[in-house]
Amino acid sequence: NAGVTQTPKFRVLKTGQSMTLLCAQDMNHEYMYWYRQDPGMGLRLIHYSVGEGTTAKGEVPDGYNVSRLKKQNFLLGLESAAPSQTSVYFCASSYLPQGGDGYTFGSGTRLTVV
Amino acid sequence: SQQGEEDPQALSIQEGENATMNCSYKTSINNLQWYRQNSGRGLVHLILIRSNEREKHSGRLRVTLDTSKKSSSLLITASRAADTASYFCATDKAGTALIFGKGTTLSVSS
């Protein structure tokens, strides 16, 4: 009964490096989302997916790319990391669109870009 | 953007007291949800109230929704130290995803 699993949990990157954050869910959810959480800013939507092979931009998509090649996985990529991308990243999934049944969240990835 | 804003930003109470936090939003919604986040953890879904509902209960939680005022409140009765967390409201935005507020930090001391 894993729910939503995010890897890695922590990462330190140097400016300009790239990395991929993995989100995996085992609930057969159609909808998946990536958010970032910064102090005093709440959660902001980066990208989301309404099904396998489909992705869309959220509120703060610049500097990030995503892919949903398999229904259970949603990958978030940083091509050239910047200090402004230091944040905690959360993945979530839902059975209904727009989280109409509530989101299930992962435990987060804490990313520091130096 | 359509966003819920929680009030107050921070709330400190004693165990056994009730905690009330409010959420205001800007545009029409299909539903409003409340989440809890313990320090260093992911968010956990607490309760969902649909736009045609006025009040909903779940254990010690009571949520009200006033669509005419575009506001909601979350009441936690008989608070416990374990209720210490941040609480977020979230509203749905047609065609996209949930939009979260900045949260209320609740501290319950024994």
Distances (CA, A) of B50 to A7, B33, B54, B58, B94: 33, 9, 8, 14, 14
Hey, of A37, A98, A101, which one would you mutate to test binding to chain B, going by the most B CBs within 10 A of its CB?
A98
Over residues A27-42, mean pLDDT? 94
% of chain A residues with pLDDT over 70: 99
Chain A hits for B44, CB-CB cut-off 8 Å, are: 105
Can you give the pLDDT at residue B96?
Answer: 81
Q: For residue B23, give every residue at least 6 positions away whose Cβ sits within 8 Å of its Cβ, in sequence order, or none.
A: B4, B5, B6, B7, B32, B34, B71, B72, B73, B74, B89, B101
Higher pLDDT, B8 or B95: B8
Residue A78: per-residue pLDDT: 97
For A38-47, how does the pLDDT look when each residue is reduced to its tens digit (9 = 90+)? 988 889 999 9
Residue B20 binned pLDDT confidence (cut-offs 50, 70, 90)? very high
Nearest residue of A to residue B98, measured between CA atoms = A98
- Which residues of chain B have a CB within 8 Å of the CB of A44? 100
* Residue B53 sits at the chain A interface (C-beta within 8 Å): no
* Tens digit of each residue's pLDDT (9 = 90 or more) over B81-108: 999 999 999 998 777 899 999 999 999 9
pLDDT for the residue numbered B4: 74
